Chains A and B, each alone.
Chain A
């Protein structure tokens, strides 16, 4: 069965510092991988996604993620965090022809001034 693990439930970083959010997946085939962001009281917004090809994927808001098949990881990074990045971040893997998503438990990011 497919699964997604986000080891860090909470992360706090200072504004301007770099960020890396971890994601590990378990999936039998080549995965479709996604990162979504959820601001308080809002729905989920797609940051980026990976299908194939270049393992470094660029997304919106200055985020990028790197797919590492050998480590079954798809970590999200940002070189310099802004206070507006405070939110909850979800990694997901797509399963089946219908593109059904299995989500990780989420990582809540707090940004210190």
Chain B
């Protein structure tokens, strides 16, 4: 399997622009997670999907952030409008969804908002 695939790997945009990050989970995995990594706050869970349904979005910072999972093989994380403080590495991870199942992480998208 190719593992979790994220695109783009790097994104540089200007403040106020819309940004869309993409994730393809490992085939057969039922759960998908979006994390954000910054120097100040470390690794934070943003949102968790199970069977394509958002289950916990308590980590989403504010209404500028939204995430969708239209099918089992694709998810997006959108920031609109983007701000410089959104600059971070965004990771997508997937798992089979059982308690304690291993989460497999993608390589991440490094977002820079100027």
A17 within 8 A of B: no
- Among B91, B99, B103, B106, the residue within 8 A (CB) of A97 is B99
Cross-chain contact A103 with B42 (CB below 8 angstroms)? yes
- Which residues of chain B from 73 to 103 have any CB-CB distance to chain A below 8 Å in the complex? 91, 93, 95, 97-103
Cross-chain contact B103 with A101 (CB below 8 angstroms)? yes
Q: Which residues of B contact A32 (CB under 8 A)?
A: 99-100
Q: Label chain B's interface by main secondary structure.
A: strand
A43 within 8 A of B: yes
CB distance from A95 to the nearest CB of B (A): 9
- Which residues of chain B from 42 to 92 have any CB-CB distance to chain A below 8 Å in the complex? 42-45, 48, 50, 55-56, 91
With most chain A CB atoms within 10 A of its CB, the pick from B31, B33, B55, B100 is B100
Instruction: Mark B residues whose CB is within 8 Å of A.
Output: 4, 31, 33, 42-45, 48, 50, 55-56, 91, 93, 95, 97-108
The 7 closest A-B CB pairs, nearest first, are A43-B105, A32-B100, A103-B43, A44-B105, A43-B107, A105-B42, A51-B100
